[in-house]
Each structure stands twice: as C-alpha cells, then as structure tokens.
Chains A and B, each alone.
Chain A
Amino acid sequence: MNFQLSEEQQMLADSAKRFVRDNHDVEKHRQNKKLMPLDEATWAQFAELGWLAVPFAEEHGGLGMGPLETMVLLQELGEGLIMAPYIATVVLGGGFLRHASEAQQAETIPSLLEGGLQLAFAAEEYERVFTLENTAMKGDVQGGDVVLNGTKACVLNGDHADQLIVLARTAGQPGDKDGLSLFLVDANAEGIERIPHRTVDGRQGAEIRFSNVTVAEAARIGELDQGYDIARAVLLEGLLALSAECAGSLAVLLRDTVEYSKTRKQFGLPIGKFQALQFRMADMFIAMEQTRSLLMAATMKLAEGHDDAAKAVHAMKAQLGRAGRKIGQEAIQIHGGMGMTDELNVGHFVKRLTAVDGLFGNADVHLMEMARSA
C-alpha cells in the first residue's frame, strides 16, 4: 500500500494549486457566473497547461494518465470552485471517446486537446430518478440509422458543447440494461433544440430536445443495444471526478468555518470556544476525512481494476452527498447571518455540493446501487 503521490502527480497537484491561488476567488466566481458562455480564457489556459490531455492515450497526444491523476487535479481545482467544463468535456466526454471508433477519435480528440471542442453527456431525464438503465428516451432503429426523439434534462455544459454523447433506448423497457445505445451527435444537428439554463451552483446546462434526429451508424459509440457497460464504466469515472472536486470544496468549507469561529466574537468569546460548536466542527472534520478515504478507496480500486470498484464508487458518491449536506449546513449555521450571503465563500461551495449531490443519482440512489452491486 502506498498513499503517497508520485513526483508526476505532485507536479500536477502543485500546478493546479498555483492556478487556483493566482486565478480564483469568490469575486472571480461571481463574475464567471454572469458569463454565458463560460470564460474562454480559462479553458485555453487549461489546454496550455496540458490538463485537457490528462486521461488521453499518448498515441492520441494525451498524457496517458488515469483516475488517480484526475482525482489529484480535480481536488485542487475544487478548492477554487473553478467552473470550467472539465468533467463534462474531458472526463465524461473523453471517457466515451476512448470507446469510440478510430474515425470518431480522429475527428474529435485533436481539437479537444487544443481546447477547440467541448462535449456533454446527455443522460438525465425529467421525472426519472437517475440510473443508467432507467433511461426512457427513444432511439428507433430504421435500417442502419437511428432516429432520436425525446428530451434530456440538466445536461451539464449542454448549452455550450459542440458534440453530445446521447444515451438512448433502442430496445427494451426502462429498467433493462440491454437495449441502451450511445451516440456521438453534433449538437447543432437538425432536430435538436437546446434550452440553456443556469444551475444553482452558477454553472450552465441545458434541456435538449430531440425531434426526429437521424443519426447514422457511424455516429454510434460501441455496439447497438450494448451501451450500458461503456456508459457505466465512464460514469464511474465521472462520479469519481465530481467527488474529487467536491472533496476539495469540503476542505474549504471546513477551513473557512474553523477560521471564522476563531475570529467571530459573541458574549466576549470567540464562538469557537463554545463546546456546542466545537463538537460540530469536529464532526465536520470526521465527515470530510471519511469522504477522502472513500475517494481514495474508489480511485485506487478503479485505477487497479478491482472487482468491487463500482461498489466503492457508489459508497463514495453517497458519502459525498451526505458529508456535503452536513458540512455545508453546519458551515452556514456557524457563520450565522454571514453564511447566508452571496458575499462569502460559504454559500457558493454549499450550492456546488448541493447541485453535485443531485447529479447522476443522489446519496439515496447510490446507497441503493451500492446495496445491489455484488
């Protein structure tokens, strides 16, 4: 067992730490929230720093790194609440591209690495509790083509993506793992309507409506009706990345709260001297450490391909949801009125954690998934 970062991983962490320190604070976050589309300059910097290349194979111009490096990078970026669509484009999008055909890869990866192409995974649907097999959106097989009809909800980066990875049901019923297929579709294809919206954490997403969108066989990722395994493998990495980012956010919330409790005085004492608050901050610390442990468990198990990797990822996402709630709520409460303002860090991190908990299945969903996975 070795929990130390390699030299290369440490360098990645250091560069991300520097980036956050030099570029990001609440004021910057507030400005970014107003931008539609997102801050292009940051994305270009990401490309320059090589971060977009992290999970891609060297033969594609990537760095050939894996889940460990993604975790290291995102934990640091999470501390800066950086809004760049890294998870949508690089982790999820890139994850799907690894399973794509050579032609699809050749067409997309080079421009993605340069920062010129953004992706989005269109999976969630309204009024359907998220699990991959619960997908209902229809893809009708017509000869070699598939015709997509239906609506995808809350698609991260969906407003800004150039290409969409669409999860649709080409056979069977919601609940069946068979019958799901994946397609790489031009986001501006005929029949696609995008309704952009903000999300509570200041990011951007979209509702995406498909009416008779015809996709050719060449646009499919993987086999027809056999998309589940690919989608699941990529989703696990996406959940890992989201959790890594949010573990960084937990750390900031705890740090800020402890700091505030040392300086804020009431009844002649720093409020951190009140045992009622001390014990709760101690519990926040414990919840954060438990999240970090599950994050490491999930990352290493996934990177090393252990049989129970999926279970660990579900445990981690569930823990993230629960710890995020607890730590977020306590952080606001202990900050008193200040915690309720847009001015402080606290609220922005809390909103990020709240949004992420709901995304791709909340804590309850993942506890059930954990219970079900072997």
Chain B
Amino acid sequence: MDLRVPEQEKAFREEVRTFLEESLTPEIREAGKMVTSVFAPVKEAMAWQKILNQKGWAAPHWPKEYGGTGWSVTQRAIFAEELVRAETPPLVPMGLHMCGPCLIGCGTEEQQNEYLPKILNGEHFWCQGYSEPGSGSDLASLKTFAEKDGDDYIINGTKIWTTYAHYANKMFALVRTNKDGKPQQGITFLLLDMDLPGITIEPIVGLDEVTEQCQVFFDNVRVPQANRVGAENDGWTVAKYLLTFERGGQEYAPGLNVQLEKIRLMAEKQQTVQGPMSQDPLWQHKFASVSADVLALEFTEMRIKSALSAGKDPGALSSMTKILGTELLQKVTELRIDTLGAQAAIWQPQALVPGAEQPVIGPEYALTAMPHYLNSRACSIYGGSNEVQRGIIAKAVLGL
C-alpha cells in the first residue's frame, strides 16, 4: 500500500492541466460554473465535447480501437479530477457513457461503425428510453410494445423521464416484444431516430423550473429490425451490461471536494456576531462531518478503482458508491444553502442561462445554491433509486 504519486502520473496531470488552460473558452468556463445538475447547459457541453474530441479525449474510457485513449485507470481518474477541478461542464452521458460502451460490447460491427464516431463527435445526441409511467423501479414491467411487421417493428406506448429527449436525435429504448413468460425475457433493445413519424415529445417542468426530462409518446412508430442490439427478447441482458457502465466507474469525491471548498469560502464571507461563520464551532462541526464522509468516499472510490485496474469486477460495490455519492452530494448542497441562510432563497433562474446579461441579485456565489439543492434531490431517485441500491447490497453482498 502506497499513496505516493509516481513521476509519470504527475507529468500526465500537468499535461491535462495545460490542455485545459489552453482550450477552455470563456463561454465554456462560464457554463461550467453555472451547472446546478449532473447535466450542463447543452450548447456549451457540446462545444466542449467537440474540443475534447479533436484532441481524442472525448471518451477516455472506451477501448483505443474505437476512439478511446488507452489510458490506465489512474490516468482516467486524474483526467476526471482535473475536469472537475477546472469546473468544465460535464459531458452529456447518454451517448458517451451509456450507449457507446454498450454498442462496443453488444452491437454488431455495422452498428459500431455507424454510431460510435457520431457519438464521439456529437452528431448523434442520445436519450435513454427505459422508464414508463407505470414502470420505474420495476423496469421489467415495461409495456411499450414493438410488434414485428416485415423487416420492421411497429412501436406503441410511452416513455417518461427521458432526459434531454427534446434535444436528442437518437434514442436507445427498451421495448416489449413478448408478453408471455417472465417479464425480463420479453424485452428488446432498440435504437431509433427521434424524428420518426408517430413520435411526440412533451417536456416536463422540474422543481427548479427547468426542463430536463420529457415524456415521449409512440404511435405506430416504424423502426427497422436492423436497429436491434442483441437478440430479440434478450434486451434485458443488453440493458444490464449497459447499466454496469451507467453506475460503475462513477466518481463523486472530486466534485464533492470542489463543492466543499466553495462552501468554506462562502462561510468566510458570512458574518455572525462573533466573526465569520467559518470560525463558528457549530458550522465547523457540520462541515468537518461532511468532509470526513467525503474523504472516506474518496478512498472507497480509490479502492474500487484499484480493484478494477487489477481486473476485478466491482459488482455490488457500485451500488455503495451510488448511495454514498448521491447522498453526500445532497448533504453538500444542503450545507451550502444552510451556510447562506435567506440569501439562498432569491430565485433568479434567468441569471443562470449562460451569456445572460441579467445582473445578479445578492452575492454571486449564492446564485446556483438553491437550484442545485433542489435538482440534487433527483440523484437518489434516478439510475436505480437508493432504496433499490440498498436492496442490491442486502441481497448480493449480505446474502439476505
């Protein structure tokens, strides 16, 4: 066991830093600072993806032959940390982190050739069509039906909570192709165009008054069978493969550390009658308590990465980091509004739009606190709710 950083890793970190310093435009930086979600403003995120792609760094986690970087686990972690530290807007994950790896693992060669380059360069913007109004945690109960007709499937039904469906031109979807037998066994994984006749998209307004999610309706939508990934009725296997990428390999600690540092600076500005809040023992206790949890998570994540680089499967451990990461993110956003008091309640979403000329009311550092607090309530719900993750640990790890 050893925490010292080898020289070549230091050099790599320097290389990444220099690149970021040189290639981040003011617009992209500003958008990164305004982020109140796991999703960034789309225009700037896509512009940033283009820049990264030109450098060959848009998908470091992909195998090199498909456009990845061939970096070690450690290098990827350093890269991810530096992105977070520079507050770059996070890239939209549906193509790069979900659909792409899934096609690499389960797609045909034609599918890989057709889609992977366009995922990398942003030409294809993907959304994930899994959840339905009646099927959330129990995804296998989904009902959207795809009926075979010649070389096509004809789809009827509806998907909900589809993030960024209103920006997407592609969807990867789970549909039912067989109503008999075990629910998991009649599901098929399909790729489809969002502009097909019969698709309607209805935006959903969130707590923060922003639209990230949509409901998507399918009325006799025709999709070629060639767009199927994996075998018919075997979509659950494909989806589970994808899920290991959606949940696994996520890192929360670097972002949490950046947030904590911001909160500490805010607490220096807030005056109590005894001096700055950062000197108040009650605040210090709360801050230290969250910081200790984040430090523990940082090392939990490192242990998982170390196991990964030794070729081990993290298995149910990804459930643990999902629970810890999301709940700590929620705690951190909570500590932030608590540090700000009434100032956090000033509501000015229009000032969050990148490039807005709107003057900010109140301290500028308070602007994103409340929207972020509200938005972060969702992270313990999506990607398999934390109740479901706890169930996985109970079953798979503890054998209950």
Contacts and interface: CB of A to CB of B under 8 A. Distances in A.
6 nearest A-B residue pairs (beta carbon): A175-B273, A342-B205, A347-B207, A266-B138, A154-B342, A355-B345
Contact of B206 (A276, A342, A350): A342
Q: Which of A153, A268, A367 has the most CB of B within 10 A?
A: A153
Nearest to A175: B273
Given A127-B270, A200-B344, 17 more contacts: A131-B273, A153-B343, A154-B343, A175-B274, A201-B345, A266-B135, A274-B387, A276-B387, A333-B385, A339-B377, A340-B377, A342-B206, A342-B209, A354-B337, A363-B338, A364-B338, A368-B282
B337 A197 contact: no
Contacts of B386: 333
28 contacts: A124-B341, A124-B342, A128-B271, A131-B273, A133-B273, A134-B271, A134-B273, A153-B362, A197-B347, A198-B346, A198-B347, A201-B345, A207-B361, A207-B362, A266-B141, A267-B141, A274-B387, A332-B207, A333-B386, A340-B207, A350-B374, A354-B337, A354-B345, A354-B370, A354-B373, A355-B345, A360-B342, A361-B341
A267 B377 CA distance: 23
A343 interface: yes
B137 A130 contact: no
Contacts of B346: 153-154, 197-200, 205
Given A174-B273, A276-B390, A359 B342 contact: yes
Nearest to A128: B271
A362 B341 contact: yes
B207 A329 contact: no
Contacts of A266: 135-138, 141
Given A127-B271, A129-B271, A154-B342, A198 B348 contact: yes
Interface string B155-175: 000001100000000000000
Contacts of B363: 126-127
Contacts of B160: 337
A348 B55 CA distance: 45
Interface of B: 131, 134-138, 141, 160-161, 204-207, 209, 213, 269-274, 277, 282-283, 286, 330, 334, 337-338, 340-348, 361-363, 370, 373-374, 377-378, 380-382, 385-387, 390
B347 A200 contact: yes
A267 B137 contact: yes
B273 A340 contact: no
Nearest to A335: B381
A150 to B, nearest CB: 14
B341 to A, nearest CB: 5
Contacts of A359: 342, 345
Given A153-B362, A332-B377, A350-B207, A130 B341 contact: yes
B333 to A, nearest CB: 11
